[in-house]
């Protein structure tokens, strides 16, 4: 007998998709066939890392509100009618958002609340790691036994730092050295310290519970900042 289907709509922003991956795993573990339309450019990153999801490719050139419509159409083509919209804000689509919840909860709590998935599942991130790719990136970038990893720049934000590192400490800045955020995990795990803006890398570190000293650089109001339960220092 065919499994019942669940559809998730959160088609862009790698960090948001990482935040929501445990929702998909929670449904999959309970016998659902999970379908998730995402920006076509993200498919190589997520397809192998999360085999418990059937990812559907969407063209990347549409505005977010139209991408939602394309995502819903793609899900219905698979026969999926049980659809969860994970956005807590979506321009021009206010009727799709639970305004009461969105005004009360942070954006990551909202995703779990509208799916009736316990929020503690956020820290049960399950991914299939490609150890070969992780090690190849480590071998290419790490030059000293002691190093820190910094992520100071995203698509719409840049943090300027005047940090001076001692001679025996390498500073590795996250950049487009790989087409998958997951390839950085080994480097992140072995670092002496992580200095992260609010981004997909900070989400990955938090949800994998990486036990390294961490500094978080805020850039959004509280409603659009992720809940952090691990031990982070905060830039003041």
Top mean pLDDT of 17-21, 60-64, 98-102, 194-198 is at 17-21
- Rounded to the nearest 10 degrees, the angle between the axes of helix 200-207 and helix 14-29 is 30
Residue 92 pLDDT > 60, yes or no?
no
Parallel, antiparallel or unpaired: strands 157-158 and 153-154: antiparallel
CA gap 50, 98 in Å, rounded: 28
CA gap 225, 105 in Å, rounded: 11
Mean pLDDT of the chain: 90
Where is average pLDDT lowest: 54-68, 106-120, 168-182? 54-68
66 pLDDT tier (thresholds 50, 70, 90):
low
In this structure, whether the domain defined by 5-123 belongs to CATH 3.60.150.10 is answered with no
Any idea where the domains of the chain sit in the sequence?
Answer: 5-123, 131-234
Mind listing the pLDDT tens digit for each residue in 185-201?
Answer: 999 999 999 999 999 99
Residue 108 pLDDT > 90, yes or no?
yes
221 pLDDT tier (thresholds 50, 70, 90):
confident
Pair 169, 192: CB distance under 8 Å: yes
Residue 128 pLDDT > 70, yes or no?
yes
Query: Model's pTM, two decimal places?
Result: 0.92
């Amino acid at each position: 007998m065919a499994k019942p289907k669940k559809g998730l709509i959160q088609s862009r922003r790698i960090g948001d998709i990482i935040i929501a991956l445990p929702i998909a795993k929670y449904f999959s573990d309970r016998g659902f066939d999970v379908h998730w339309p995402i920006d076509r450019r993200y498919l190589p990153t997520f397809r192998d890392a999360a085999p418990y999801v059937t990812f559907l490719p969407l063209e990347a050139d549409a505005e977010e509100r139209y991408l939602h419509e394309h995502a819903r159409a793609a899900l219905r083509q698979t026969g999926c009618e049980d659809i969860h919209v994970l956005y807590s804000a979506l321009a021009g689509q206010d009727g799709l958002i639970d305004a009461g919840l969105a005004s009360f909860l942070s954006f990551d709590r909202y995703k779990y609340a509208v799916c009736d998935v316990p929020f503690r599942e956020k820290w049960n991130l399950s991914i299939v790691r490609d150890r070969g790719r992780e090690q190849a990136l480590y071998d290419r970038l790490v030059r000293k036994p002691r190093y820190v990893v910094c992520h100071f720049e995203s698509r719409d934000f840049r943090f300027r730092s005047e940090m001076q590192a001692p001679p025996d400490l390498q500073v590795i800045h996250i950049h487009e050295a790989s087409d998958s955020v997951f390839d950085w995990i080994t480097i992140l795990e072995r670092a002496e310290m992580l200095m992260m803006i609010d981004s997909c890398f900070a989400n990955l570190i938090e949800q994998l519970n990486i036990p390294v000293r961490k500094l978080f650089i805020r850039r959004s109001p509280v409603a659009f900042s992720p809940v952090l339960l691990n031990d982070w220092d905060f830039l003041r």
